[in-house]
Structure 1
Amino acid sequence: MTKLLVTGGAGFIGSFLAERLVEEGFDVLIIDNLSSGELSRLRNVIDRVKFIKDDLKNLSDPGGAFRGGVDTVFHLAANPEVRISVTEPRTHFDENVVTTFNVLELSRKYGGVKNIVYASSSTVYGDAKIIPTPEDHPIQPISVYGAAKAAGEIMCGTYARLYGINCVVLRYANIVGPRLRHGIIYDLLMKLKKNPGELEVLGDGTQEKSYLYITDTIDATLKAWEYAVKNGGAYTYNVGNWDSISVRDIVSIVIKASGFNPRINYKPATPDGRGGWPGDVKRMLLSIDKIVREVGWRPSMSSREAIELTAKSLAEELGVGNEGAHS
């Protein structure tokens, strides 16, 4: 049975990936320090995986995982909060850059890892000049989070060239779905839970971004991995949707899911009066032509559909809303 390692496997994307890998019959190991991950996300598979609580900021082999015949590492361990990277850049260097180096070095040192799938981000492009943004667009991040992800991409590519490890870099758009505990939908719902009468929204509401549902994300991840295993080498793919949606539309969807009728207070925090915080990309829409063409994956639902499904499920999970609002 092929052995696979998921770093950050108790996180949002990682937990769904682990579930899918177990369902497909793989031997799954998970490493997570539970700083942002939650064991409850793994309740459906915890008895069928090997879980190791450890911190990849330390260059050690947690539980002998990298010496245990692991074929592929899905590296998803990271601090996902883009806003925090602006105010606490050291945190993102340690948790996103240092951990990526350590994963690559452990994979090289113990020699058994043949493939690495690296979870990168659309934030590596910054405020892109070309929309939809292709993979060959210049890398110009405007957040430390984006810079950390870009650094990880470069290290992955270098290790692939130097040591013959197949590497897939996946530049995810905004990924949404059940169990999500960061980002705009979660933030808005938590604000409404605290104060149903008023809703503060970061930015002027005209920001427009692409969103992808978690099941589509896992499909793309596995198809890209299978392609790299079959063909060998290093690959970089955007993983997003065909369309985008504005913050104002997201606010409307979230309010509908909550059943409340709050007063909305838009709060721009950037010099141009649009963005919600320094480092906030105003518009993000990735070109997914390359992954569609080479890998054969395509999303099954639009950004709006992904937001609607997520807002409904998260409102239920978080206990937000009037009775009957989620029916």
Structure 2
Amino acid sequence: MAKRTAVKDAPKDGINPKQPCPCGSGKRYKACHGAPGGATDVIVSRPFEGLAAECELIALREFVPSAVVKLPVKDGREVTLATVLPMAAAGLIRGDDVPFVGLQVQTRSGDISRDLARALQWAQKAKTGDVLPVVGPDNGDDPARLQDLLDVDAEITPVLHADFIWWMPEGTEPTGDVALSLERANAAILPTERLDAPGVKAAYWVDAGDKAHLRWVRPEPEEKLLDAMARLAARGELDLGEGSRYAGSFRAHGLLVPVWDLDREMHAREWAEPAEALGKRLLEALASDEQLSDAERRAREGLRGRQITLR
């Protein structure tokens, strides 16, 4: 079985009861794993660790609105992973017999990887029209995790959509609750594009209305990444050129996600080359084993204090 990284019960671990629960449910800790009588399973703080697709999965889980990708399943029926399904279902078999599992779901489980594995196993056996609203509780055994069911070395390239019409088979009109859910989901979409450039992975341009952002899920350990970013910041190189500025970062499922503000008048593809150049600078800085200078240490403290919240 894949290695698990756990976060134990608060408050002795230092989890702020008012902060989002590390399980990824979207609820505050005090209303989820920290609630009296709440979920008691161990929280896996880095659920996708060990998968080459880890960074992309985090992006799809946290901020990409509408996207699908074929999962690199080792054996059995091919299943498509979707950012979100109608009614936030954990899984469904579309009317044309295409099986889907949803990534953006409400859960009180402490291990998103385990829940996804259960949904994947369900989708491989379910019939056309079947829906899995939520993943059920543990049955007491040692269940599979996503790392056990997928080719761990396989990378993924999600296909992004401007709406959620792919919920329906081609030529089919939505009705009832599905139509309402589709309308609401389409209204909430922020235009999003995946940057396509050599060495640039899990980097997404997002149009937030008043400005655009680049959100880039990085695979490096947080402390090592902060050191590298501090080296660049001290040299004035932690940006993507004119029309950009480093805004801050947030943590998601064990990894750090730096964010840059961008001039929204520029198209997403215009940021691909600057992102490639920034990625090269980061790799060079990551390779350095020299101690940080005074200026770099000050820059590092500044970076550490610039935590942001997604809206």
Q: TM-score with structure 1 length normalisation? A: 0.26
Normalized per residue, which structure has more helix? 1
- Higher Rg of the two aligned structures: 2
Q: TM-score with structure 2 length normalisation? A: 0.27
